Amino acid sequence: MAHQVKSYIMIIGVGILLAACSNGQDSRHLRYQQNASAGYQGGNYTYNSAAPYKPHQGQSFSQPYHMQPGLAYNVDGHNGQMRQSYYPQQRGYGQRQGQPFPHLRGPYKGSKMSYENLNAFEAPVATEIAGVTFELRGRLDSVTDYSFDQDRNADHRLVGTHRLTAEKQLPNRLTIGAAFTGRHEDIGNSNADYKGRIRGYVGGSWGTVLGGNVQDIVYEDTRRLRGAGALVGRGPREENLWGDGALGRLNDWGGGYQGRFGPTTVSAIVDEDTNYDVGIKFQRPIGNKDYRLTARHNSGTYLAADGLTEIDTKAVTGVGEYVYGSTRYDISGGYEQLDTGATNADRWFTSAGVTTKLGLWNFTAEGHYGQIEGQDEVSAFAGVKYDIARGLSATAAVDYQDRQINVGGVDLVNEKDTRALMGLSYGF
């Protein structure tokens, strides 16, 4: 519990610190700036355009712009010509350049936390050195989950992730780059773990060739998108819905290709053990809905729930999604062959979800049903996320899974649990 409180305090503390660092609106800075080079003709304050702007006064336009009540249009009415001084009001005020306002009302606080605080990293931590663009992104998640079925204890973890990319466009317009991502997880009791991943790429108009830790490239291109409630640290792929998609994965190291052709993107990866993953995604708005269709075929390996049996897999998966207004609906289905060596098992699976957004609130509900050799696997998820401030969000979710499947004496999956999750995340 102390660990949990500590990490929540840490995230909030980071937020407050960033707000304090970034607040440029305190009383010392509340003065009107006037840039000496504002006019494009060096020191001439007005914009000396040869031909002044004339508003349109066509017949079909209901009312001339400058005639609308309350609009200070600064047009004197003679042939639409601007007055000689375009900003007459600024002449007098300009004398106060550099002077603080005389009637300050105290340090600026903002109307609410979400409005102007937590801005320190509003521009990503990025720079350019010798034509190479470096960009750093990071995220800190503090997650607490409570199991209703198992130990009935609240578990807590703090997960920090980062991604550092370096990219340069060569004179032949190929783009060369590398991305280094890392994840540090602290689950209390002095248990901490860090894992880094790296990939390199070269890309141009014919697509991008990648190498390194690229095992999830196709999966991420073709999966059902994560909705509200996605928290870092949930399973190997941060999945919301247990069992969604194929079980088999590629090994860590591999290489492949990603490319775009019209509204379609294709991707293909081969890993160090010649497992492969190919996918295709088509996305295009038609009428007033946006459609996204994906198909994926992969071979891979899956470690059974007994922790010992390594299973070869082959799967085909498809996803259909459409967005209408503020809501996204999606559905997926697939078939997977599981080869344990001693026996084969057939698995089919399907899932569906809906995610909607209302202001700062995001809601997701999704469910999964499948069978392995006639034995059921079921999971469900409901999540809500509230965007508290720039980079800061709170999440609450409930998930359920009943996936206890034994084939040929091997526990392929053995999970039955209902959990409640709460999390606080800060990212930049």
Q: Is 99 in the site for another protein (CB under 8 A)?
A: no
Residues 6+ apart with CB under 8 A from 41: 48
Q: Is 81 in the site for another protein (CB under 8 A)?
A: no
> Comparing C-alpha atoms, which of 332, 330, 311, 312 is closest to residue 322?
330
Q: Is 42 in the site for another protein (CB under 8 A)?
A: no
Buried residues in 305-340 as b, exposed as e (16+ CB within 10 A): beeebebbbbbebbbebbbeeeebebbbebebbbbb
Name the DSSP class of 100.
B
Is the Cβ of residue 279 or residue 419 nearer to another protein in the bound state? 279
Question: Which range binds another protein by CB under 8 A, 142-150, 171-179, 397-405, 416-424?
Answer: 171-179
Is the Cβ of residue 25 or residue 414 nearer to another protein in the bound state? 25
Angstrom distance (rounded) from CA 198 to CA 163: 10
- CB 240, min distance to another protein, A: 13
Cα atoms found within 13 Å of the Cα of residue 356, Cβ hemisphere only: 7
The residues in 127-166 that bind another protein, with binding defined as CB under 8 A, are 127-128, 133, 135
Is the Cβ of residue 29 or residue 195 nearer to another protein in the bound state? 29
> Comparing C-alpha atoms, which of 368, 357, 282 is closest to residue 324?
357
Is the Cβ of residue 1 or residue 286 nearer to another protein in the bound state? 286
The binder of another protein chosen from 18, 217, 278, 372 (CB under 8 A): 278
Is the Cβ of residue 128 or residue 306 nearer to another protein in the bound state? 128
* Structure-token pair, residue 80: 């639409």
> Comparing C-alpha atoms, which of 19, 16, 11 is closest to residue 119?
19
Is the Cβ of residue 12 or residue 266 nearer to another protein in the bound state? 266
Q: Taking the CB of residue 258, how many other CB atoms lie within 10 A of it?
A: 20
Is the Cβ of residue 313 or residue 401 nearer to another protein in the bound state? 313
Residues 6+ apart with CB under 8 A from 361: 384, 385, 386
* Structure-token pair, residue 295: 């198909």
Question: Which range binds another protein by CB under 8 A, 46-54, 150-158, 186-194, 230-238?
Answer: 46-54
417, 418, 424, 426: CA torsion to nearest 10 = 50
The binder of another protein chosen from 13, 17, 20, 93 (CB under 8 A): 93
Q: Is 321 in the site for another protein (CB under 8 A)?
A: no
Q: Is 24 in the site for another protein (CB under 8 A)?
A: yes
The binder of another protein chosen from 155, 216, 312, 415 (CB under 8 A): 312
The residues in 52-71 that bind another protein, with binding defined as CB under 8 A, are 52-53, 55-56, 58-62, 65, 70-71
> Comparing C-alpha atoms, which of 301, 259, 292, 295 is closest to residue 412?
301
159 phi/psi in degrees, rounded to 5: -125, 125
Q: Is 174 in the site for another protein (CB under 8 A)?
A: no
> Comparing C-alpha atoms, which of 75, 74, 103, 79 is closest to residue 90?
74
The residues in 248-277 that bind another protein, with binding defined as CB under 8 A, are 259-264, 266, 268, 270, 273-276
- CB 87, min distance to another protein, A: 7
Q: Which residue type is seen at 361?
A: W
The residues in 334-393 that bind another protein, with binding defined as CB under 8 A, are 339, 355-360, 362, 387, 389-391, 393
- CB 257, min distance to another protein, A: 9
136, 421, 252, 250: CA torsion to nearest 10 = -130
Is the Cβ of residue 127 or residue 150 nearer to another protein in the bound state? 127
Q: How far is CA 130 from CA 107, 125, 169, 170, in A?
A: 40, 17, 11, 12
Question: Which range binds another protein by CB under 8 A, 184-192, 210-218, 309-317, 396-404?
Answer: 309-317
Question: Which range binds another protein by CB under 8 A, 182-190, 238-246, 325-333, 370-378?
Answer: 325-333
Q: Is 223 in the site for another protein (CB under 8 A)?
A: no
Angstrom distance (rounded) from CA 198 to CA 213: 6
Q: Number of residues in contact with another protein, rule: CB under 8 A? A: 124
Question: Which range binds another protein by CB under 8 A, 147-155, 202-210, 211-219, 405-413?
Answer: 202-210
- CB 25, min distance to another protein, A: 7
Is the Cβ of residue 215 or residue 355 nearer to another protein in the bound state? 355
Q: Is 35 in the site for another protein (CB under 8 A)?
A: yes
